[in-house]
Amino acid sequence: MKKMFLLATAALLTACGSGDKKPMDTPRDRLAHQLFAWAENGQIAYGHQDDLAYGHAWCVEDWENDPLERSDIKAVTGHYPAVMGFDLGGIELGNEANLDGVPFGLIRKAALKQIERGGVVTFSWHPRNPLTGGDAWDVSSNQVVKSVLEGGEKHDEFMLWLQRAADFVESLGPDVAVIFRPWHENTGSWFWWGKDLCSENEYRELFRLTWVYFTKKRGLENLLWCYSPNGPVIPKEYMGRYPGDEFVDILAADFYEFAGPEGLQESGSRFGAVLRDMLVKLSAMGLEHEKLICLSETGMEGLPDLHWWTEVLYPAIHEFPISYVLTWRNAHDKPGHFYGPWEGFAGAADFKAFSELDSIVLLDE
Ligand code: BMA
């Protein structure tokens, strides 16, 4: 599976370097190549959300003067994660800080620091609900997506939201490329752009509108666009909302383990089986569409299974050509809300063992 996928993906990379530019000419080509190289070498990069901004028991306070050297992952392993995620929720309103209180100035500085250290950055976005004024999880109306599309009552306001998000991405400068992963978990129905809240066509239009604005209107060519519905993956459903090959560079999925009443062992093996099945389907779709693939979000809140990394996650993912796997944030203000290890956590040794496996990549420093 790994080999077939890589042959097809090589064609994608050739395409990235086509036209009048030489291959690997642009920051975007180099980012695509980095992701491809990991998969080609049988490696999976490890990613962590908000890693440089805060951890389980700390938070950057004076970001302008902070060297951004703290990281829960580095404290446990001696290395920074190879991939870091940050969220743009709140940028659409012109807020100073995102929905989790992380200043956008800090997000910009942390993203640039991560890239300077040789790592990769991915942005998700939990924007407010433009029709009701609620948050991203406000699913009280199924008219929201429709309202922001061309001709809809919120279209003009929504274009201003896109403008503010694009301004932020542009402020990173022309020399860096990042992964952008808007409108995620869209095969579930917990965000206003979710499955029961808009038609397949409306969703595709939302994604394309965003792509066209960033890429064509603003000329922001330094993005790799990631399409990441939630698992389990049902190809017909996954592809039913797929915006199209022209608008997407990475096929991904978000999928979490929730400990059920059946006990950790059972829940881990159930999760592992569904995850493997998802990755089989994602690999096949990646092959067919000549796209990179990744596990864009995963984890188990609070890691009650102290051997989750080596006994559940790794066995489920290691045979698949995913470029990276990202686990969600270690909230500093909600003690049980963490998905990565931290210094002093009972399961830290298991993460360290996972991070030392040949195929798992963290940064050198
Ligand atoms: C969710 C939780 C929330 C957070 C949101 C956006 O999964 O972590 O606390 O606000 O992501 O980061």
Binding site membership of 297 for ligand 1 (Cβ less than 6 Å): no
Calculate how far, in angstroms, residue 332's C-alpha sits from the geometric centre of ligand 1. Answer: 12
Calculate how far, in angstroms, residue 335's C-alpha sits from the geometric centre of ligand 1. Answer: 14
Q: Which of 100, 138, 254, 332 for a ligand 1 pocket mutation test, highest count of atoms within 8 Å of Cβ? A: 100
What string of pLDDT tens digits covers the 365 residues of the chain? 565 566 556 655 555 544 455 567 999 999 999 999 999 999 999 999 999 999 999 999 999 999 999 999 999 999 999 999 999 999 999 999 999 999 999 999 999 999 999 999 999 999 999 999 999 999 999 999 999 999 999 999 999 999 999 999 999 999 999 999 999 999 999 999 999 999 999 999 999 999 999 999 999 999 999 999 999 999 999 999 999 999 999 999 999 999 888 999 999 999 999 999 999 999 999 999 999 999 999 999 999 999 999 999 999 999 999 999 999 999 999 999 999 999 999 999 999 999 999 999 999 99
- pTM of the predicted model as reported, rounded to 2 decimal places: 0.96
Helix (H, G, I), strand (E, B) or coil at 8: helix
**Which two tokens mark 338?**
């963490």
* Among 87, 91, 114, CA closest to 166: 91
Distances, alpha carbon 170 to alpha carbons 118, 127, 219, 232, in Å: 20, 18, 9, 34
Burial class (CB in 10 A: 0-12, 13-18, 19+), 195: buried
